[in-house]
Amino acid sequence: MSRDSTTLIIDEADLPTVLAVDLARGFEGLVLAYQDRLFSFALRLTSSPQDAEEIVQDAFIRAYNALRTYPPERRRMLVLRPWLYQIVLNVTRNRMRGRRVDQTTLDDEETKWHLLLADDETRQPEVIYERDERQGHLITMLMELPARYREAVILRYVEDLSYADMSRILEQPVGTIKSNVHRGVVLLREARTAEPDEVRS
């Protein structure tokens, strides 16, 4: 399916209303609106494009299954951004802990889909995951951080979320989060200072 005029774009602010009125249509709009941010987020958390795609797929399916059980009023009141980031974070944590149990299948005999993508979709331009060696090193340093620091730093500085949103996502008080962000940044700086010269230059 091509991302052109045949897909529908819903203004992000209208998404909760559309979800309340027409879940299927609203859901497609939701995926379109958030897929790039959530994929990027999962990619920064895992540094694996394959894992990131599976995580975001599972996260969207969890989101859909939850939305189906919510009454329209609850869907209308949803604050989508922290809600979706939290689902991605939870799916990621489960995978990182080695819990690969897939709880997202809709039923036991879910169809395995083999997509046939248009030529222009399979021949993607070279996707840039990291611009240079220095950025690669930063990503490595991020992956070496303890998860609580990595998550906090990514949400704050890569995803540019507010502390209020982060508090919803991480289910922690803002003070704790600030302290984790700070600690994470300190550790990154230490790692940067300790890095080999050729990367530093």
Partner 1 sequence: MKDNHQSSQREGSDVLAELERLPRVPAPPSLLPTVLLRTGTADAYARVLTPIGPVFIACNRQGISALAREREPAQFEAEFRARFGRPVCRVEALPEPYAAALAGQLSTDVSDTAMFDLRGITDFERRVLMKALEIPRGEVRSYGWIAKEIGRPQAVRAVGTALKHNPIPLLIPCHRVVHSDGSIGEYLFGGDTKRIVLETEGAAPDVIERLGRSGVRFVANPDDGTFCLPTCGRSHLHDNFQGRGLRTERDAFAAGLRPCRDCRPAVMTS
**CB-CB contact of 44 with 158 (8 Å):** yes
Q: Does 36 bind partner 1 (CB under 8 A)?
A: yes
Q: Of the ranges 95-103, 143-151, 164-172, 184-192, which one interacts with partner 1 (CB under 8 A)?
A: 184-192
Q: Does 149 bind partner 1 (CB under 8 A)?
A: no
Looking at the chain, how many residues does it have? Answer: 201
Q: Does 166 bind partner 1 (CB under 8 A)?
A: no
- Residue 77 Cβ vs partner 1, minimum distance, rounded to whole Å: 22
Q: According to CB under 8 A, which one of 12, 46, 53, 172 is a site residue for partner 1?
A: 53
Separation between Cα atoms, residue 97 and residue 199, nearest integer Å? 31
Q: Does 18 bind partner 1 (CB under 8 A)?
A: no
Separation between Cα atoms, residue 40 and residue 54, nearest integer Å? 12
| Long-range contacts of 185-193, Cβ-Cβ distance < 8 Å, separation of 24 or more | 185/153, 185/157, 187/145, 187/149, 188/138, 188/141, 188/142, 188/145, 188/153, 191/141, 191/144, 192/138, 192/141
Which amino acid type is present at position 111? T
- Residue 43 Cβ vs partner 1, minimum distance, rounded to whole Å: 5
Which residues of this protein are in contact with partner 1, per CB under 8 A? 1-7, 24-25, 27-28, 31-32, 35-40, 43-44, 49, 53, 56-57, 60-61, 64-65, 106, 110-118, 121-122, 124, 127-129, 131, 134-135, 138-139, 153-154, 156-158, 160, 163, 178, 181-182, 185, 188-189, 192-193
